[in-house]
Structures are given as structure tokens and as C-alpha cells.
Amino acid sequence: MAQIFPRKANLVPTISLIAGLGGGVFVVLFIWYYFSPEFTDVGYSPEQPIEFSHRFHNGELGLDCQYCHTNVKVASHSNVPSTQTCMNCHSQIKKDSEKLLPLRTSFDSGESVKWLKVHHLPDYAQFSHAIHTNNGIGCETCHGRVDRMEVLTQSKSLAMGWCIDCHREPEKYLRPDSEVTTMGYTQPTDFLQRNLERIRRESIKPPTNCSACHY
């Protein structure tokens, strides 16, 4: 009886298996990257109701982060500056600027400016600004060089693995408390030794268990 299928047909199962495995690996890698915060969140920069340049205010004028974000060392959540904080300067500076009309309207009406949040964490993840800023974690570590940003942009993934890396080796990230809000801070050459000594002295033990952030 003559063969119905050619000998090459024997390769079909092998090719199908390789294609299936290759396709599966491709799908996993595709989802791993394109569904991750590194791709979906980094670079997020919403248009705000008022143009505000961190590069100018923080970088050129040298305003400290805490002048506007007053809660970072005393509360779990940071705060957007109130209209009154902005008007401390702009009641005298550029007080007739058309770009600042929404600010003046907010001040006159008492209704807050609808600033858009840039850095989001899932509802099931708990994070305290106060704990971190009072233990040597700088604003720059999580938010990047905001003093160079014309428009505030998320520059770090804030993914769980990214946070865990810091919790496992905090000596790589700690800085003196006096330098927490400093942008462009340069660590001394012996910073690892200093930080390890501080960790022992102050019993700094960042938790890595699930319940530390998920409760």
C-alpha cells in the first residue's frame, strides 16, 4: 500500500511542539514586560490644570520639597500643596498671569485645584511616607530628579520587586536625614560602611514579609 503522507510529514508534530513552546514563551515574556509597571507606569505624566515646573521651582529657585509637601515627614500620605501655599508667593509674583487664573479662582472660591495624582499605588498596598523619610530614604530615591522635570513624570516603577530590593539591602539607599530632600545627593565613598553602622545602631529592619505592606 502506497504512503498517503510524505516522509516530511513526520516533522509536523515536532514543529508543532516547538512552535507551541516558543509561542508560550513569547506570550509569557510579552506579558512580563508590557504588562509590568516598568512599561505601563514609568513615563506617566498627566496634563495638570495649572502648568507647574518642578525644574524651575525646585531646581532653579531651590524651594525645598517640604515647603509644598508638608506632610511627608509626619503622615503616611504626602499632600498636594494647598492654594494658600501657592498664593504665599503668587499673591505678589505674577499675580496677573493668565496661566494662574485657575489658582486665583480657587483662592477666591475656596474650591481646591483639581490636581491629578502622578504616583499611584494599588489600594491593597500600604506605604508610609513618614516612615521612609524619617529613616533616611530620599525623595529622589522614589520620585527621581524632580528638580529637572518641567512636567512631573513617574520615573520609577514602584513595583513590588523594586520595593523589596530596597528592603533587603537598605544600606545601598540610605542617606543622612538632613539630605532626604536633597536632589542630586552624592554618597560619600564609605557610605555602605556608614549605613551598615547606622542600621545596627538604630535597629533599622525593613520588613520583607507580605503583611508589612498588604494588610
**pLDDT tens profile 66-99:** 999 999 999 999 999 999 999 999 999 999 999 9
Say what the pLDDT of residue 25 is: 76
Is residue 145 located within the same domain as residue 48?
Answer: yes
Query: Does 8 score more than 90 pLDDT?
Result: no
Is residue 92 included in any domain, yes or no?
yes
Is residue 50 located within the same domain as residue 32?
Answer: no
Q: What is the mean pLDDT of the chain?
A: 90
Say what the pLDDT of residue 34 is: 63
Is residue 155 included in any domain, yes or no?
yes
Say what the pLDDT of residue 17 is: 80
Is residue 189 included in any domain, yes or no?
yes
CA–CA distance, 38 with 79 (Å, rounded to integer):
25
Is residue 6 included in any domain, yes or no?
no
Is residue 1 included in any domain, yes or no?
no
Q: Quick one: what percent of the chain has pLDDT higher than 70?
A: 92
Answer for the pair 127, 213: CB distance below 8 angstroms, yes or no: yes
Is residue 131 located within the same domain as residue 197?
Answer: yes
Query: Does 211 score more than 70 pLDDT?
Result: yes
- Structural domain of residue 133, as residue ranges? 41-62+72-80+118-212
How many domains is the chain built from? 3
Is residue 2 included in any domain, yes or no?
no
pLDDT in tens, 133-178: 999 999 999 999 999 999 999 999 999 999 999 999 999 999 999 9
Is residue 54 located within the same domain as residue 141?
Answer: yes
Mean pLDDT, range 111-130, rounded to an integer = 93
Is residue 165 located within the same domain as residue 129?
Answer: yes
Is residue 51 located within the same domain as residue 123?
Answer: yes
pLDDT in tens, 18-74: 877 877 777 777 666 666 667 678 999 999 999 999 999 999 999 999 999 999 999
Is residue 197 located within the same domain as residue 123?
Answer: yes
Q: What DSSP string runs through 19-87?
A: HHHHHHHHHHHHHHHHTSHHHHTTT--PPPSS---HIIIIIIS---HHHH-TTTTTSSS--PPPHHHHH
Is residue 35 located within the same domain as residue 127?
Answer: no
Is residue 55 located within the same domain as residue 157?
Answer: yes
Q: Residue 16: pLDDT band by 50, 70, 90 thresholds?
A: confident
Is residue 206 included in any domain, yes or no?
yes
Question: Which element (helix H / strand E) includes 131?
Answer: helix 129-133
Cα 36 to the chain's mean position, in Å? 14
Is residue 18 included in any domain, yes or no?
yes
